[in-house]
Amino acid sequence: MKFYLKYDIQKICKKVLEEQMDKLDLSYDIIGFGKAEIKESVSATKLKHLHSFLNGYGIEVVGTQKSILVQKTKDAIIEMVYMEENLPTSKISSYLSKKLKHSYGYNSNVFSDVTFTSIENFIILQKIERAKELILTNELNFTEIAWKLNYSSSAHFSTQFKNTTGLSPSAFQRIIRRRRNIDIKS
Amino acid sequence: MQHEVIHVLLADDDDDDRLFFKDALEEIKIKTHVITVIDGVELLDHLLKPDIVLPHVLFLDLNMPRKGGMDCLKEIKSENRFKDIAIAIYSTSASEKDIEEAFVKGANVYIKKPSDFEQLKKVLSKVITINWQYHTSGLNRDSFLLSV
């Protein structure tokens, strides 16, 4: 028996995209034909899965090779900042190029292109974020936090905190405490 | 994803300040889409319109007729659907007390209005860039405080 089919490619593509992204539990928007947006930050592994799922349908994800490298860089930096012990003793640039298998120069250019900030600034931002968490858990004093995050002194830590946020660590701590008190009362 | 536009909303009653603000944003690297309103009443009317694209960042002048920045901050913070908007206070005052009060009431950024254009560009670029990192890297907004 021969039969004839009529199909709507757009509809099929959309359906496949939806199914695959649902499978990975992503929150997304399909913006017209050939373009979708993932509305959260996605780990490099998840992106890889999405690529291979879609590849099975002959759909290729284009234009995100750079974003994948950037995501891997971010993951590596965050992992590094959150390491409890054995912080890398080598320079950060060689640590990242070894881990990501790209030259640091290439990697840092791509990073700045995509994120509008430099790897160096991103590391500082992440360290300060980590410091904020530690400040708010109240378990360590500023000197211990500085030491934990590999700052040479607590003065260096305070300076970098102030340069990044515009506030001293103690002002930051006071403000968040006052804010929480208001939340509790209301 | 990385070429998305940042939506910016500015509430400021001064015509010149609104103009400088727009010009400065046009010259920074990150693409922005700017809407301006002239006071707090117009601001809340705008935010409560159905189907609007909520801004990523809202710049709020403290001293405006009809409804000032602090009142707006309070109202916006009490609405759950506005919880993802980063709020930047944009003011000529820079007393420690004003800054701390604004942060305690929920502002994320406090900007002392710069007096020259180059400085304004620098400051706005810093705010937008850092906010962008919060937006794209899933950082914790509850402890996002920046004073420039």
pLDDT digit string (tens) for chain A, length 186 residues: 888 888 887 788 888 889 988 988 888 888 766 678 887 777 777 878 888 888 888 887 766 678 788 888 998 898 888 876 666 666 788 888 888 888 999 999 999 988 889 999 999 999 999 999 999 998 999 999 999 998 999 999 999 999 999 999 999 999 999 998 877 665
Please name the residues between 109 and 168 in chain A that touch chain B, using a CB distance below 8 Å.
114-117, 122, 125, 129, 132-133, 136, 165-167
Please answer yes or no on whether B104 and A129 come within 8 Å at the CB atom. Answer: no
Q: Which of A38, A117, A165 sits opposite B145 (nearest CB)?
A: A165
Chain B hits for A167, CB-CB cut-off 8 Å, are 145, 147
Please answer yes or no on whether A115 and B146 come within 8 Å at the CB atom. Answer: no
Cα–Cα dist B121/B28, whole Å: 7
Query: What is this structure's pTM?
Result: 0.78
Q: Is the ipTM of this complex over 0.90?
A: no
Task: Give the pLDDT confidence score for residue B19 in this predicted structure.
Answer: 95
Q: Which chain B residue has the Cα nearest residue A29? A: B1
Tokens of A63: 């234009």
Task: Give the pLDDT confidence score for residue A88 in this predicted structure.
Answer: 63
**Segment (H or E) for B34:** strand B32-37
Task: Give the pLDDT confidence score for residue A43 in this predicted structure.
Answer: 75
Task: Give the pLDDT confidence score for residue A42 in this predicted structure.
Answer: 75
One-letter amino acid of A176: I
Q: Is A180's Cβ below 8 Å from some Cβ in B?
A: no
Task: Give the pLDDT confidence score for residue B2 in this predicted structure.
Answer: 44
Please answer yes or no on whether B104 and A166 come within 8 Å at the CB atom. Answer: no
Q: Is A183's Cβ below 8 Å from some Cβ in B?
A: no
Task: Give the pLDDT confidence score for residue A150 in this predicted structure.
Answer: 87
Measured in degrees and rounded to the nearest 5, phi and psi for residue A29 equal -130, 135
Task: Give the pLDDT confidence score for residue B34 in this predicted structure.
Answer: 96
Q: Is A177's Cβ below 8 Å from some Cβ in B?
A: no
Q: Which of B106, B133, B138 sits opposite A117 (nearest CB)?
A: B133
Among A170, A74, A181, A173, smallest CA distance to A133 is for A173
List strand residue ranges (DSSP E) for chain A, in order: 28-30, 36-38
**Segment (H or E) for A78:** helix A65-82
Which residue stretches of chain B have pLDDT < 70? 1-3
Task: Give the pLDDT confidence score for residue B1 in this predicted structure.
Answer: 42
Cα–Cα dist A159/A140, whole Å: 18
Task: Give the pLDDT confidence score for residue B87 in this predicted structure.
Answer: 97
Q: Which chain B residue has the Cα nearest residue A64? A: B1
Chain B hits for A116, CB-CB cut-off 8 Å, are 29-30, 129, 132
For residues A157 and A151, the answer to whether their CB atoms sit within 8 Å is: yes
3-state secondary structure of A10: helix
For residues A91 and A62, the answer to whether their CB atoms sit within 8 Å is: no
Q: Is A64's Cβ below 8 Å from some Cβ in B?
A: yes
Task: Give the pLDDT confidence score for residue A162 in this predicted structure.
Answer: 96
